[in-house]
Amino acid sequence: MRARQSSHGGAWGYMLRRLLLVLPTLLGIVTINFFVVQLAPGGPVEQYIARLEGDGAAYMERIGAGDGGDMQPAADDGTAAYKGAAGLSPQAVEAIRRQYGFDRPILERYVTMLGDFALFRFGDSLFKGRSVIDLVGDAMPVSLSLGLWSTLVIYAVSIPLGMARALRRGSRFDTMSGIAVIAAHAIPAFLLAVLLIVLFAGGSYLQWFPLRGLVSPGHDALPFGARVLDYAHHMVLPVTAMVVGGFAGLTSLTRNAFLDELGKAYVETALAKGLTRKAVLWRHVFRNAMLLVISGLPGAFVRVFFTGSLLIETIFSLNGLGLMGFEAAMQRDYPVMFASLYVFTLIGLTASLAGDMLCMAVDPRIDFERRAA
């Protein structure tokens, strides 16, 4: 009893230390990315200047009218003349820098950003005319839906398949299923997404599934059951495109983990003591083998959530965090970029903690004190 209490105490102490490390880890990641991005060329000021130099009307409306630095005297017809082709005046450039807050020192901007992020105040997008928190709030359900359902489907299929392959090692089922998952892994997700659209979303053949969006227009007015079905109907094709290539790695990991446990001496000992093979499998082998599989769950979710959905979101017209972050990086929309990074980091750190808690739930015997050391 005392040993069990010590084990639980060590586990919760380890979790507390991990939780306390979240803040410095988050601070370090945000700090490094802030200064790297600030020093990179082609920031929002340069982006906006390029737009103005290519659009005289926008320049006259947004800058020239307020500053007059690049406005020549009125022409005979009463309109202002534009000389953007000659480049913006220093006064106009300074006005743009002041508009985006780049007239302040970099350290002042950094400290201000940390204070705002601590209160989840992300400011407004530089180019979309909306608050960042609204943009993140609109994009979050899409990315969570794709990441969560894709990860659950991959695990729900790969774990039983890996167990079945381990128990039937060397059989025709083992060989054929291995070839099937490897072949599926070789298919790019975006190519499969296009194929699914052509076949099942009205491309050339059937029109069984919707082509775009997370829900249908008028979704909120539907009864609860109809809303669930409508949501699932929209999720079928994008989730299918994301999961088909994800079975190979986890299936092989599960198969190898179970084969490793089945080859250990305690299995033969338990069978010799009269336990059935089924009892040994579920009471001992399953728990020990699943530790390795479960420990990879946070990483699998983070990979799908961060990197696996960008092309899928684009193809199926889903405005998720991946697409939003990519567009923000291309436009140098710093508030959206840093907010996306902040949210991604929080989710990644939380998922890592959740993975440790799952390991503790599956096998309370894990020595977290030794693991922490």
Residues of the chain with CATH 1.10.3720.10: 132-372
Tokens 């005289």 correspond to 56
Confidence at residue 299, expressed as pLDDT on a 0 to 100 scale: 67
- Residue of 46, 28, 31 lying closest to 332 (CA atoms): 46
Dist. CA 122–CA 159, nearest whole Å: 40
* Highest mean pLDDT, choosing among 92-96, 167-171, 271-275, 290-294: 167-171
d(CA 227, CA 220): 7
* Highest-scoring range by mean pLDDT, 36-45, 58-67, 213-222, 306-315: 213-222
Inform me whether the pLDDT recorded for 1 exceeds 50: no
User: Of residues 128 and 365, which shows the higher confidence score?
Assistant: 128
The model's pLDDT over 324-352, given as tens digits with 9 standing for 90+, comes to 888 888 878 888 888 888 887 888 788 77
> What pLDDT shows up at residue 73?
42
Structure tokens at 25: 């880890």
CB 74 within 8 Å of CB 131: no
pLDDT band at 62, cuts 50/70/90?
very low
Q: How far is the C-alpha of 338 from the C-alpha of 357, rounded, in Å?
A: 29
Of 14-28, 36-50, 249-263, 342-356, which range is least confident?
36-50
d(CA 161, CA 156): 9
Percent of the chain with pLDDT over 90: 2
pLDDT tens digits for range 249-282: 888 888 888 888 888 888 888 888 877 888 888 8
Torsion of CA 108, 112, 114, 119, to 10 degrees: 170
Which whole number is the average pLDDT over 274-295? 78
Give the residues across from 373 on adjacent strands: none
pLDDT digits (tens, 9 = 90+) for 96-107: 677 667 777 888
pLDDT average, residue stretch 274-299: 77
DSSP 127-143: TTSSBHHHHHHHHHHHH
* Average per-residue pLDDT for the chain: 76
pLDDT at 61: 47
Q: Which CATH code fits 132-372?
A: 1.10.3720.10
Exposed, middle or buried, 338 (CB in 10 Å: 0-12/13-18/19+)?
buried
Residue range 67-87, pLDDT digits in tens: 444 444 434 444 334 344 345
Mean pLDDT of the region 175-187: 89
Q: Which of 61, 42, 45 is nearest to 97 (CA)?
A: 45
Could you tell me if 208 and 200 are in contact, meaning their C-beta atoms sit under 8 angstroms apart? Answer: yes
Which whole number is the average pLDDT over 13-26? 80
Cβ atoms within 10 Å, residue 311? 20
Angle, to 10 degrees, between the axis of helix 286-295 and the axis of helix 297-306?
Answer: 30
Rounded Cα–Cα distance for residues 58 and 65 (Å) = 10
pLDDT at 161: 92
How many percent of the chain have pLDDT more than 70? 74
pLDDT at position 369 is 52
